[in-house]
A = this chain, B = another copy of it.
Amino acid sequence: MADRVSGPPLTRVGIVGLGLVGGSIALALRSVQPDIHIIGVDDAQVMEAALRRATIDEARDSAMALADVDLIVLAAPVGAILEIVEQLGRAGVSAVVTDVGSTKRRVLEAAQRSHLENFIGGHPMAGSERAGLDAASGDLFRGKTWFVVPGHEAAPDAAALVDRFVRLLGAVPVTIAPDAHDRNAAYLSHLPQLLAVWLIVTSGDAVGEGGLKYAGRGFDEMTRLAASSSAVWQSIIATNADYITEALHELVTIVPQVLGVDAARLRDVFARANQWRDRLEEERGRPR
């Protein structure tokens, strides 16, 4: 696999955050390039486990201690990424830096503001019900879309290195502008997440445990995302509030004031929903 992916050399990589995504990046890199030197940054306990399993070769206590690597990967929630990007930029770090944060505009703005020149944003479309290093897998990104969002002034070399990195993981790089990325994410990920949370709180409070036990498969699916942690979502929502608010307003415009009265309108919205669902199923049937 490694031979088939050309590009600038990638021999020393620093990964900040060894959770599901950071851990899976380490495992995937190791499997295609066994001699790679991986330096991890996380809590002492996580690093100890990662060293013991040889997921990483070396542990350091801060992203600021990674100046000697080819690529720094920030695999943390968006809020932490923002802080680290500012620190690296102010410290004049010249290594190529990328991230896996769920929103991209604020992260790129932080890179520009702090003069972190070789920053290329990223966002893998891969996840799992499970979190943490224990859930990490070298196959997590195989065949999955990995959005690449170059900074305004990033050098072509930096973009080429991140492109190689993504391909080494088995993912498919798709370049997108930060605005388009964040707007799509608001409609396809953030609004659904909030609807799941609001639905289960509304319905749980209304029917109680006695009612909830009769919920069927539809309710189960519509609320699975409600198990997500606010620790991750707080910074996603805070950094994309404008587009999520737009999406919410768009949704509200198709909610009728009085339900059940206007049969033609209901038929119309179901017909449109059926059509979009058909398209989605067609898309999902296709290889990416």
Contact = CB atoms under 8 A, between A and B. Distances in A.
Interface of A: 125, 127, 145, 147, 174, 183-184, 187-189, 191-207, 209, 211-230, 233-234, 237-241, 244-245, 247-248, 250-251, 254-255, 258-261, 263, 266-267, 269-281, 283-284, 286, 288
Contact of A283 (B187, B213, B239, B280): B213
What is the predominant secondary structure among interface residues of chain A facing chain B?
A: helix
A198 to B, nearest CB: 5
A229 B206 CA distance: 27
A-B pairs, top 5 by smallest CB distance, nearest first, are A241-B260, A230-B270, A204-B276, A187-B203, A226-B273
Contacts of A201: 254, 269, 272-273, 276
A237 B211 contact: no
B258 A248 contact: no
B200 A276 contact: yes
A234 to B, nearest CB: 6
A189 B219 contact: yes
Identify the interface centre among A183, A237, A255, A259: most chain B CB within 10 Å of its CB. A259
Nearest to A281: B227
A280 B147 CA distance: 34
A222 B226 CA distance: 11
B202 A234 contact: no
B274 A227 contact: yes
B218 A237 contact: no
Contact of A200 (B145, B147, B266, B277): B277
A277 B227 contact: yes
